[in-house]
Chain A
């Protein structure tokens, strides 16, 4: 008899593995039985009829075996997406008939977090959630925590923390109009005119033929005209000489040491729930870097990236669409590790000879200014001031306005120091092209 009882108990336990009773089961069973029992003892029909629904509902709910708890499975989504994109995440579940409810955490449009918990029917086989990636960066966008409940929620299984799915949202690209870059001393192809002769299309000069010149370069009109002047039509052939066309290097220097907004009160605290402060200096710097890179890569130039806080995250100059994608990934990686470096690092070997260097920084410390002015001894350096302006004083302290004035004055002094050391300072990435044009002219 005891073996039969043990077998039945084990079978019941296996059938309800992972399931727990709730207060509702206790309420229905004890409350229903208690009221009916007290009604019978006291000969009170009213207590019996009040307790009967609880008892009947509990028995009806427990009559169906719950089976195994459902396991939601997420259909794969791309690991890398563009900012502003959206997609439908599909989660499939297979629940037994005894599972009446499935509470699952899924994102909804307009919520920045992992989303609220949704109580759905347990019979649903496919759940679709709308995802929209508005902010660039890397993070968790789906974690389907779930809980299954039997009829009338008398038994529950869970809550189970779902598997996190991480996604990289690339920063948006708004290509800027690219300015003329000083060409490198070497290189065979590109969009920029070199000072030396080559195989470009722009005329450099017309000169007398020299040994080594190709015959197809002979300008017969000039040759005949010169011959007519001297009386010997084919005495001195003249050739047309073109400028060489070469590529140029642009190195973007990202200052990931600080991520600040216009409100001074927020400088000492991290932005809640996000890696990068929206509208802050790092956010604007990354967007500007992506825009500058897109503009110059489209022009055929070579663009590289240096992270002042993490030299190991730097990217050597390269060309093409693949370089732009690589660079945007690297910008996300740089922002993920932002704020953890103690001082800026910019080694001379990180910048190729002849490259133009664009600093994207709020210039909040002297070390960054020193790095820029040191680089300006060997390269053309343009500093894009990414500090949000105007700064807003902390209203919570009487020293807020004083602090704001001191910070503004220090920042202005750093800008003056940059200019004094030959660094062009601009306020927006759109002004880089104009500065380059001014330098070339």
Chain B
């Protein structure tokens, strides 16, 4: 890409609109999954906060709440409510990341989103591939040592991320 004429883009409200659509989808999914009214109300509050304050912890809390609520509300791990949540969560994450960059009255060039959207499609394909593998894999008990190693690895990764984040400050 070489030259760009500014002023032809879309309003940044479209990014917040995309976040709002993702939030609405998550809320609809929660509603159809039969979560409790209290949890639904909390999710609705978090969704509102996510749209209004995309660069805040609200999207993360909403994602975690929605994932846990949907996971605990059914037995089949790959039922439609879960599969729908995979792209919705990713869309909320991406739209909030971009909307959080821009101040009031900003505009964006749609061509700038081409690359991240292409990458997001690839990630979604991999995630759905994982779900497909999980669907066809035998559901046997994993040996305890393997589980322990996996858990320690995850904890180590989490510690690395937190240390790196504090180092930035």
Q: Name A residues whose Cβ lies closer than 8 Å to a Cβ of B.
A: 9, 20-31, 33-41, 44-54, 56-57, 60-61, 100-101, 103-104, 106, 108-109, 116-130, 147, 149, 151-154, 156
Shortest CB-to-CB span from B72 to chain A, Å, is 9
Q: What residues on B are CB-neighbors of A119 within 8 Å?
A: 9, 12, 98, 101-102, 106-109, 112
Task: Supply 30 A–B pairs (Cβ within 8 Å), ascending by A.
Answer: A22-B97, A22-B100, A24-B93, A27-B60, A29-B161, A30-B60, A33-B158, A36-B154, A40-B150, A45-B77, A46-B70, A46-B78, A46-B82, A49-B78, A50-B71, A50-B82, A52-B130, A54-B90, A60-B123, A100-B112, A100-B116, A101-B98, A103-B101, A116-B107, A119-B109, A121-B1, A124-B4, A125-B1, A128-B4, A152-B116
Question: Is B28 in the interface zone, CB < 8 Å from A?
Answer: no
Complex-state Cα separation, A125 to B55, whole angstroms: 28
Complex-state Cα separation, A357 to B68, whole angstroms: 84
Assess the B90–A33 pair: CB atoms within 8 A: no
Q: A40-B147, A100-B116, A124-B2 are in contact. Are A152 and B97 (CB under 8 A)?
A: yes
Residue from B4, B93, B101, B106 in contact with A156 in the complex, judged by beta carbons closer than 8 Å: B101
Assess the B109–A24 pair: CB atoms within 8 A: no
Complex-state Cα separation, A52 to B3, whole angstroms: 37
Of all A-B residue pairs in the complex, the 3 with the closest CB atoms, nearest first, are A24-B97, A119-B108, A108-B7
Complex-state Cα separation, A134 to B64, whole angstroms: 52
Residue from A37, A56, A130, A156 in contact with B127 in the complex, judged by beta carbons closer than 8 Å: A56
Tell which of A30, A49, A51, A101 has the most Cβ of chain B within 10 Å. Answer: A49
Assess the B4–A120 pair: CB atoms within 8 A: yes
Shortest CB-to-CB span from A53 to chain B, Å, is 4
Question: Is B85 in the interface zone, CB < 8 Å from A?
Answer: yes
Complex-state Cα separation, A136 to B96, whole angstroms: 41
Complex-state Cα separation, A128 to B96, whole angstroms: 28
17 new A-B contacts, CB < 8 A, other than A49-B82, A118-B6, are: A23-B60, A24-B96, A30-B161, A37-B151, A47-B67, A49-B78, A50-B85, A53-B86, A53-B126, A108-B7, A119-B12, A119-B98, A119-B102, A124-B3, A125-B2, A128-B6, A153-B98
Complex-state Cα separation, A33 to B1, whole angstroms: 35
Q: A40-B151, A45-B134 are in contact. Are A120 and B6 (CB under 8 A)?
A: yes
Assess the A31–B70 pair: CB atoms within 8 A: no
Q: What residues on B are CB-neighbors of A153 within 8 Å?
A: 97-98, 100-101
Q: Name B residues whose Cβ lies closer than 8 Å to a Cβ of A.
A: 1-7, 9, 12, 55-57, 59-60, 63-64, 67-68, 70-71, 77-79, 82, 85-87, 89-90, 93-94, 96-98, 100-103, 105-109, 111-112, 114-116, 119-120, 122-124, 126-127, 130-131, 134, 147, 150-151, 154-155, 157-158, 161-162, 164-165, 167-168
Q: A24-B100, A52-B130 are in contact. Are A127 and B4 (CB under 8 A)?
A: yes
Shortest CB-to-CB span from A399 to chain B, Å, is 39
Which B residue's beta carbon lies closest to that of A92?
A: B3
Q: What residues on A are CB-neighbors of B165 within 8 Å?
A: 21, 25-26
Residue from B6, B60, B123 in contact with A127 in the complex, judged by beta carbons closer than 8 Å: B6
Assess the A37–B155 pair: CB atoms within 8 A: yes
Complex-state Cα separation, A101 to B1, whole angstroms: 13
Assess the B112–A50 pair: CB atoms within 8 A: no
Interface of A is mostly: helix
Shortest CB-to-CB span from A39 to chain B, Å, is 8
Shortest CB-to-CB span from B95 to chain A, Å, is 10
Assess the A50–B2 pair: CB atoms within 8 A: no
Assess the A147–B101 pair: CB atoms within 8 A: yes
Which A residue's beta carbon lies closest to that of B59?
A: A27
Residue from A35, A46, A57, A125 in contact with B123 in the complex, judged by beta carbons closer than 8 Å: A57
Complex-state Cα separation, A48 to B150, whole angstroms: 13
Q: What residues on B are CB-neighbors of A49 within 8 Å?
A: 77-78, 82, 86, 127, 130-131, 134
Residue from B59, B107, B131, B154 in contact with A33 in the complex, judged by beta carbons closer than 8 Å: B154
Q: What residues on A are CB-neighbors of B97 within 8 Å?
A: 22-24, 27, 152-154
Which B residue's beta carbon lies closest to that of A19?
A: B168
Complex-state Cα separation, A311 to B111, whole angstroms: 56
Which A residue's beta carbon lies closest to that of B66?
A: A50
Q: A118-B107, A147-B101 are in contact. Are A27 and B93 (CB under 8 A)?
A: yes
Which A residue's beta carbon lies closest to that of B106?
A: A117
Q: A31-B64, A50-B85 are in contact. Are A101 and B4 (CB under 8 A)?
A: no
Which B residue's beta carbon lies closest to that of A149?
A: B101
Assess the B101–A57 pair: CB atoms within 8 A: no
Assess the A121–B63 pair: CB atoms within 8 A: no
Shortest CB-to-CB span from B68 to chain A, Å, is 7
Which A residue's beta carbon lies closest to that of B108?
A: A119
Complex-state Cα separation, A424 to B67, whole angstroms: 84
Shortest CB-to-CB span from A74 to chain B, Å, is 13
Which B residue's beta carbon lies closest to that of A88?
A: B5
Q: A23-B56, A151-B116 are in contact. Are A106 and B77 (CB under 8 A)?
A: no
Residue from A21, A33, A34 in contact with B168 in the complex, judged by beta carbons closer than 8 Å: A21
Shortest CB-to-CB span from A434 to chain B, Å, is 47
Shortest CB-to-CB span from A213 to chain B, Å, is 73
Complex-state Cα separation, A147 to B98, whole angstroms: 12
Complex-state Cα separation, A153 to B93, whole angstroms: 11
Which A residue's beta carbon lies closest to that of B11?
A: A116
Assess the A23–B55 pair: CB atoms within 8 A: yes
Q: What residues on B are CB-neighbors of A151 within 8 Å?
A: 116, 119
Assess the A124–B82 pair: CB atoms within 8 A: no
Complex-state Cα separation, A20 to B101, whole angstroms: 13
